[in-house]
Amino acid sequence: MKKLLLLAMVMCGLGAWFATQASKQTIPNLSTSYIFDNPRGLAPFALRDQYGNKFDNQDLQDKWSLFFIGFTSCPDICPTTLNKLSAAYPQLQQIAPNLQVVFVSADPKRDTQAKMLDYINFFNKDFKAVTADHAQLFPFSRDLGFTYAMVGDDANYQVDHSASYVLVSPKGEKFAVFKTQQQPGKAPQIINAQLISDFERIVRFQQG
């Protein structure tokens, strides 16, 4: 009886080990991104979008949300990013029709609702633009893994900010991050072909 019990325990242990290995083997090979080991929900937040509507945790449910941070006066990274994302958007939507692209403004003082609306509509009217005062914005951006800081004291100050994208799953969990890569003779960027390929693999992985 003891031998049978011991054998059963060993078999259960082996089964759990094989299940773990199988799970590890299903993690996709990604080019410009990585999936978090333990996806977790975002802390409660409340922002406003380009129409003045509240944007909070409920707006993440049942949607893939691709976030990036910046400011409308950004001279280079933000317009380049928005142009690239707008070009990739049709293919990203074919993979996940419930995708929303969300531009987080780290400059609430200058980025009014009207300014955000004009700015985001110039690139893609389907995209969202959100912001809040720094008391709300800083913990939200930090929760996503973004950083930002004001540079300069006059009215023409700049905002240093992250250039990565963060992907939140339809469960409202921070699921993956897309990182920039150095290109010879160019500023670090996320290549659209790699973004689209990785996004497809991530969605399939999340869906099991």
12 is in an annotated binding site: no
Q: Which of 178, 156, 151, 150 is nearest to 64 (CA)?
A: 178
78 is in an annotated binding site: yes
Q: Copy the structure tokens of residue 3.
A: 């031998």
Q: Copy the structure tokens of residue 100.
A: 């929303």
Q: Which of 176, 161, 170 is nearest to 81 (CA)?
A: 161
74 is in an annotated binding site: yes
Q: How many CA atoms lie within 13 A of 172 on its CB side?
A: 12
Q: Binding site membership: which residues?
A: 74, 78, 161
Residues flagged as binding site for Cu cation = 74, 78, 161
